[in-house]
């Protein structure tokens, strides 16, 4: 929306009168000059300044969008898929290193990755699987992870990529709802599978990859590696799939033990990888350091996608290590590193060492780098470019900060916003309910005004479509109607952002039903449901609170407990089984009752403001001791230790 100061609307009649007078009394050249002076005198110079500052940025972004859109249309017509695009990459440089697994220093060329994935596809075909079937993949990061889902895709089999943090009910739920015919799991996760195998469908085949110990896996499990060794290395039967067909499923964090499977189609995989490639001016000669989990989109699409689609070498690490990060970058000559915000803070908390400035990293690619540490990060580690982006697996309103504006997660053009149909719309920050005008249309935000990011849904456009979740009922919370205009649909991001005068977008806060902790998104409504169930349906409000020196927000639960009868020792034990560590509330507050709005939503604004400060909260407070797995009283002394960073949360 162009910037038009409110003052202009107050002088419209004066302007019309002036122009009418000029039109009849002075030459037209002077009329034009007078109009320009009039426009500038009453604030028009601000809009000209905006054009001057942003036109180059916007033209570049538009060029990137057009380039990606052109390729998307081509691939759509040709019914391309990620495996066929990979085949083109393979032809360009078959003997170039594609993947390096840092854990064992294993190097795979593009030819080796192709051969391995062919063996996977042929093995599954020999087992009777066909296009459209599902295989669950439950494995920590390594080269084989990529080869397995790529091999499945070559046959048209869809991979269910399961979060390795999930256990018991959450893990069982993923396997059952995915309708997987086979579960391929890493030997490092054998105990998690063993724990639930007796409750799984007997027809589910189990294949174990990695170190083989028959005594540690469920009865009937087969060792994957010998089977692949004997499998054909030729290209498996080509599926009848196209660019908008399903590729695999990525699961939400599973904060309630009931994760949702987001659908990733081939066009979405390409779009996410291509937009960052062209938008941040990457090169096929770059080497990417990927220490993010491959069961999430950042690690598997934004990272691995550069290998499969653009021919980069990607270094895979099993897990992030702050102490080894820069040593790895030097060893493998990495030029791009991936991050999430928490990772950057962990690196800054490390003692200074020579390796952190001896690398050849030119770009840090990721999301969640806070403005407060942005300059510290690039100055200390000598990183020329921060490539910050915004996006979620299922979203259609991805953003890119293509010119490293400090603190911004992306931008929306102030002068050609119609090119990329996203918008900030006004919301009630407590309830995240959309605020509409008298016609029922959502109200756009002005610069400086916080709002929820939305993206217009156009299902026939691969860049604007919303593929949603396997369970159609889960889509309802993500779609709104009559947003830009009557009769349209838009994707709801759930995130509150603020736009500045130049169109740069910044996170205000995750004050909706999601916050981020330990690199994972945590759904407050889902955690509330779990806690209510465990506490026999008492009222529970969950929200994120800031902790000095830590990224994201720590979970806090306000629990209505008028009788004070909660056994915290037993409660902590049950939570350990029910929720992943990142989803367990770090702080607890017990109060007589929870206040609700007229629509029965919890009023969390005051709860967030008071947080866990015993000077503001007179109700009993507790914090989770991670090592003891126990909730301890939070008094003024404990509060001071937490604020000083002396307590590990």
pLDDT of residue 273: 97
**CA dist 387 to 201, 347, 422, Å?**
45, 17, 20
Average the pLDDT over each of 57-61, 107-111, 195-199, 251-255 and give the range with the smallest value.
Answer: 251-255
139 in the same domain as 38: no
Task: Give the whole-angstrom CA distance, residue 154 versus residue 84.
Answer: 8
621 in the same domain as 601: yes
pLDDT of residue 41: 62
User: pLDDT-derived band of residue 30, with 50, 70 and 90 as boundaries?
Assistant: low
226 in the same domain as 83: yes
634 in the same domain as 519: yes
User: pLDDT-derived band of residue 598, with 50, 70 and 90 as boundaries?
Assistant: very low
Mean pLDDT of all residues in 333-355: 90
Question: Do the strands 97-101 and 313-316 form a parallel or antiparallel pair, or are they unpaired?
Answer: parallel
519 in the same domain as 506: no
- The answer to whether residues 452 and 430 touch, using CB atoms and an 8 Å cutoff, is no
CA angle 594, 595, 601 (to 5 degrees): 100
Picking from 319, 350, 385, the residue at the C-terminal end of a domain is 319
Evaluate the CA torsion angle 318, 322, 328, 329 in order and state its sign: positive
Which class for 111: exposed (0-12), middle (13-18), buried (19 or more C-beta within 10 A)? middle
For 621, the 3-state DSSP assignment is strand
- Residue 65 maps to a domain: no
Q: Which two tokens stand for residue 547?
A: 């902790």
Task: Give the whole-angstrom CA distance, residue 135 versus residue 296.
Answer: 17
- Residue 344 maps to a domain: no
CATH number of the CATH domain containing 85? 3.40.50.980
Angle between helices 568-578 and 168-178 (to 10 degrees): 30
Q: Which two tokens stand for residue 22?
A: 């000029």
- Looking at per-residue pLDDT, the higher value among 391 and 117 belongs to 117
Percent of the chain topping pLDDT 70: 89
121 in the same domain as 18: no
Task: Give the whole-angstrom CA distance, residue 156 versus residue 163.
Answer: 22
Task: Give the whole-angstrom CA distance, residue 302 versus residue 337.
Answer: 11
CA angle 53, 54, 56 (to 5 degrees): 105
pLDDT of residue 562: 74
Mean pLDDT of all residues in 111-137: 98
Range of the domain at 481: 409-510
Task: Give the whole-angstrom CA distance, residue 112 versus residue 97.
Answer: 9
CA angle 505, 511, 516 (to 5 degrees): 85
- Residue 364 maps to a domain: no
- Residue 60 maps to a domain: no
pLDDT of residue 579: 84
Indicate the number of domains in the chain.
Answer: 4
267 in the same domain as 124: yes
236 in the same domain as 93: yes
pLDDT of residue 5: 36
Picking from 319, 346, 376, the residue at the C-terminal end of a domain is 319
566 in the same domain as 465: no
pLDDT of residue 36: 57
Measured in Å, how far apart are the chain's first and last C-alpha atoms? 43
- Residue 114 maps to a domain: yes
CATH number of the CATH domain containing 580? 3.30.300.30
Position 256 pLDDT exceeds 60? no
- Residue 346 maps to a domain: no
19 in the same domain as 124: no
For 41, the 3-state DSSP assignment is helix
210 in the same domain as 127: yes
Q: How many CB atoms are located within 10 Å of the residue 545 CB?
A: 18
Tens-digit pLDDT profile for residues 184-243: 999 999 999 999 999 999 999 999 999 999 999 999 999 999 999 999 999 999 999 999
- Residue 265 maps to a domain: yes
User: pLDDT-derived band of residue 33, with 50, 70 and 90 as boundaries?
Assistant: low
Tens-digit pLDDT profile for residues 42-80: 566 788 888 899 999 999 999 999 999 999 999 999 999
- Residue 330 maps to a domain: no
pLDDT of residue 426: 95
Tell how far CA 136 is from the center of its chain.
Answer: 21
449 in the same domain as 305: no
User: pLDDT-derived band of residue 600, with 50, 70 and 90 as boundaries?
Assistant: very low
Mean pLDDT of all residues in 315-342: 94
- Looking at per-residue pLDDT, the higher value among 316 and 166 belongs to 316
Position 507 pLDDT exceeds 70? yes
Q: How many CB atoms are located within 10 Å of the residue 201 CB?
A: 10
Q: State the chain's mean pLDDT as an integer.
A: 88
Position 320 pLDDT exceeds 50? yes
Position 253 pLDDT exceeds 70? no
Picking from 293, 319, 345, the residue at the C-terminal end of a domain is 319
Task: Give the whole-angstrom CA distance, residue 385 versus residue 501.
Answer: 23
Cβ-count burial 492-505 (b if 16+ within 10 Å, e if not): bbbbbbbbebbbbb
């Amino acid at each position: 929306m162009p910037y038009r100061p409110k003052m202009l609307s107050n002088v419209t009649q004066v302007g019309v009168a002036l122009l009418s007078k000029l039109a009849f009394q002075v030459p037209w050249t002077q009329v034009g000059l007078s109009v320009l002076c009039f426009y500038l005198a009453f604030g028009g110079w601000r809009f000209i300044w905006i054009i001057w500052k942003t036109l180059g940025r916007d033209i570049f972004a538009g060029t990137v969008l057009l380039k990606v859109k052109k390729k998307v249309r081509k691939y759509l017509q040709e019914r391309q898929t990620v495996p066929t695009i990979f085949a083109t990459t393979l032809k360009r440089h078959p003997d170039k290193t594609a993947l390096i697994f840092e854990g064992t220093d294993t190097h795979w060329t593009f030819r080796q990755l192709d051969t391995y994935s062919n063996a996977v596809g042929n093995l599954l075909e020999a087992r009777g699987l066909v296009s459209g079937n599902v295989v669950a993949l439950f494995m920590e990061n390594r080269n084989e992870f990529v080869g397995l889902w790529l091999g499945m895709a070559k046959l048209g089999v869809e991979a269910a990529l399961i979060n390795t943090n999930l256990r018991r009910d959450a893990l069982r739920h993923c396997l059952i709802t995915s309708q997987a015919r086979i579960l391929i799991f890493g030997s490092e996760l054998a105990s998690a599978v063993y724990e639930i195998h007796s409750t799984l469908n007997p027809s589910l085949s189990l294949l174990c990859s990695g170190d083989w110990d028959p005594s540690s896996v469920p009865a009937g499990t087969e060792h994957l590696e010998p089977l692949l060794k004997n499998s054909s290395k030729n290209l498996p039967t080509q599926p009848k799939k196209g660019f908008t067909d399903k590729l695999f499923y990525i699961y939400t964090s599973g904060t309630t033990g009931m994760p949702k499977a987001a659908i990733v189609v081939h066009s979405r995989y390409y779009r996410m990888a291509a937009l960052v490639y062209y938008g941040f001016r990457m090169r096929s000669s770059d080497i990417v350091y990927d220490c993010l989990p491959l069961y999430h989109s950042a690690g598997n699409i934004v990272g691995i996608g550069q290998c499969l689609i653009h021919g980069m070498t990607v270094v895979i690490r099993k897990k992030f290590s702050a102490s080894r990060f820069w040593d790895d970058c030097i060893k493998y000559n990495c030029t791009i590193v991936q991050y999430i915000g928490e990772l950057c803070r962990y690196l800054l908390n490390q003692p200074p060492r020579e390796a952190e400035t001896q690398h050849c990293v030119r770009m840090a690619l990721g999301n969640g780098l806070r403005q407060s540490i942005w300059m510290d990060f690039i100055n200390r580690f000598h990183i020329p470019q921060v490539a910050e982006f915004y996006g979620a697996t299922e979203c259609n309103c991805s953003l890119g900060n293509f010119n490293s504006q400090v603190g911004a997660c992306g931008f929306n053009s102030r002068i050609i916003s119609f090119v990329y149909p996203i918008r900030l719309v006004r919301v009630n920050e407590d309830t995240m309910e959309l605020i509409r005008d008298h016609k029922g249309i959502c109200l756009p935000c002005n610069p400086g005004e916080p709002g929820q990011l939305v993206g217009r849904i156009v299902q026939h456009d691969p860049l604007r479509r919303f593929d949603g979740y396997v369970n159609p009922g889960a889509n309802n919370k993500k779609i709104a109607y009559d947003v830009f205009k009557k009769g349209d649909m838009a994707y709801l991001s759930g995130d509150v952002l603020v736009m500045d005068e130049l169109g740069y977008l910044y996170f205000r806060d995750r004050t909706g039903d999601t916050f981020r902790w330990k690199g994972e998104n945590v759904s407050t409504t889902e955690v509330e449901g779990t806690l209510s169930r465990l506490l026999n349906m008492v009222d529970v409000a969950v929200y994120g609170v800031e902790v000095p020196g830590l990224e994201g927000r720590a979970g806090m639960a306000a629990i209505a407990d008028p009788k004070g009868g909660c056994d915290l020792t037993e409660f902590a034990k049950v939570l350990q089984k029910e929720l992943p560590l990142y989803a367990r509330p770090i702080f607890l507050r017990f109060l007589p009752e929870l206040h609700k709005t007229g629509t029965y939503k919890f009023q969390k604004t005051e709860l967030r403001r008071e947080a866990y400060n015993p000077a503001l909260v007179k109700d009993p407070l507790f914090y989770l001791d991670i090592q003891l797995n126990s909730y301890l009283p939070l008094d003024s002394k404990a509060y001071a230790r937490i604020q000083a960073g002396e307590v590990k949360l």
